[in-house]
Amino acid sequence: MQITNEAKQFLQEMMSRKDVETVRFFFAGMGCGTPQMGVRLEEAQPKDHVSEVNGVKVAIDPTIKDQTENITLDFEEREGSRSIVLHGLDSCC
């Protein structure tokens, strides 16, 4: 997993507002025969794999850990809307 500097800055701003220190990737059900992931600003769960990526604390549900290895979190701003985008996700559908 990689986190761009722009995404890092945005995530740190949002985590500060929500008083949270972690970006958590979690199992969000099955889709196309593979586990799907969700992303939230929330504290790690006991079984999560926790690490730091580009200065950002990241927690990953072990169910979807393999899917997060080749993704990049990036920042995007369009028409006044700011968000995080995930690049490198496998899509089978």
The answer for residues whose C-beta is within 8 angstroms of residue 89's C-beta and 6 or more apart is: 67, 71
The answer to whether the Cα torsion of 51, 22, 11, 32 is positive or negative is: positive
pLDDT reported for residue 58: 97
Low-confidence ranges of the chain (pLDDT < 70): 33-35, 90-93
Q: Which residue has the tokens 């993704």?
A: 71
Question: What domains sit in the chain, N to C, each tagged with a CATH number?
Answer: 2-87 (2.60.300.12)
What is the bridge-based pairing of β-strands 34-41 and 23-31? antiparallel
pLDDT reported for residue 52: 97
pLDDT reported for residue 43: 95
pLDDT reported for residue 91: 59
pLDDT reported for residue 80: 86
pLDDT reported for residue 56: 97
The answer for residues whose C-beta is within 8 angstroms of residue 33's C-beta and 6 or more apart is: 92
Q: pTM here?
A: 0.85
